[in-house]
């Protein structure tokens, strides 16, 4: 199969390399061409514009936000205009529900297929092919492509025929992750200020009541104050919480915790901390409590 991949950031580069290690032909595009150079030794072809995908059967996009997707997919001469009829665009980006719906409609009008396949996992999981994949769109097409998807992740969950449903699941999951980070940070700040070593507390939590990877991994980042370099940058988390709010308003679903998380992200943004991991939400709780947050 002739595959294309657009977007070679920290997540996309790892995902593209997983596809490059297989037997199919891979062509990549990234706005900053330097990111593609590391893949060229694997037999990958790099192109200079997103519209140079006219011979591809399947194209993945992994981009930062709605604006980036619009520029790469919907701008004149971009992916939508160049993708052949019958070919499939798979969007792995965390984008709005509304944009996913629009992409499905626009591709359908062009005789192209569209699937949403947002992913859960950090850059190390992307590089190792250990992501969790949520799929929505035509079920038989998802099943046909499942072997390719499983090069990227541990499993694929199909959630419905409308592609935007996968994006709703992705946003809800990111809300839960952010809420977990915040609650971990608050609990750790409470016991630390009361005299309990935060690392000992985390060891108790993650070997007894809260043994999931999300608690172990983010708990360690919070306890270690390891918020740089960012595996998932705080501004991306802030964007996701904004999209959660938009979806909740559209569906008339009150989500009061999302407002608290939004304010945490705004506090980071107000101090210009755009380079921190969103695990910084948990460290904010310690900072609010007057505790040392300098990596002690």
By annotation, the residues acting in catalysis are: 170
Strand order in the sheet with 45-46: 45-46, 25-29, 2-6, 58-61, 88-91, 113-116
């Amino acid at each position: 199969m002739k595959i294309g991949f657009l977007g070679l950031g920290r997540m996309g580069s790892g995902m593209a390399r997983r596809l490059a290690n297989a037997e199919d032909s891979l062509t990549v595009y990234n706005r900053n061409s330097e990111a593609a150079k590391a893949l060229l030794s694997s037999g990958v072809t790099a192109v200079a514009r997103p519209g140079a995908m006219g011979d591809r059967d399947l194209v993945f996009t992994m981009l930062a936000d709605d604006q980036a997707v619009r520029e790469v997919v919907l701008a004149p001469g971009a992916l939508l205009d160049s993708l052949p009829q019958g070919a499939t665009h798979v969007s792995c980006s965390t984008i709005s529900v509304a944009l996913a719906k629009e992409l499905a409609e626009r591709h359908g009008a062009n005789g192209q297929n569209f699937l949403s396949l947002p992913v859960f996992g950090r850059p190390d999981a992307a590089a190792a092919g250990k992501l969790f994949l949520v799929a929505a769109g035509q079920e038989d097409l998802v099943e046909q492509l499942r072997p390719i998807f499983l090069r990227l992740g541990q499993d694929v969950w199909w959630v419905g025929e409308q592609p935007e449903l996968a994006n709703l699941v992705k946003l809800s999951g990111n809300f839960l992750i952010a809420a977990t980070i915040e609650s971990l940070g608050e609990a750790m700040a409470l016991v630390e200020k009361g005299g309990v070593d935060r690392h000992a507390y985390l060891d108790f939590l993650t070997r007894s009541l809260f043994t999931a990877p999300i608690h172990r991994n983010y708990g360690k980042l919070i306890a270690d104050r390891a918020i740089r370099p960012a595996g998932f940058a705080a501004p991306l988390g802030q964007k996701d919480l904004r999209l959660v709010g938009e979806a909740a308003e559209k569906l008339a679903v009150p989500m009061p915790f999302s407002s608290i998380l939004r304010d945490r992200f705004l506090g980071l943004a107000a101090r210009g901390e755009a380079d921190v991991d969103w695990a910084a939400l948990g460290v904010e709780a310690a900072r609010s409590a007057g505790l040392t947050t300098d990596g002690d």
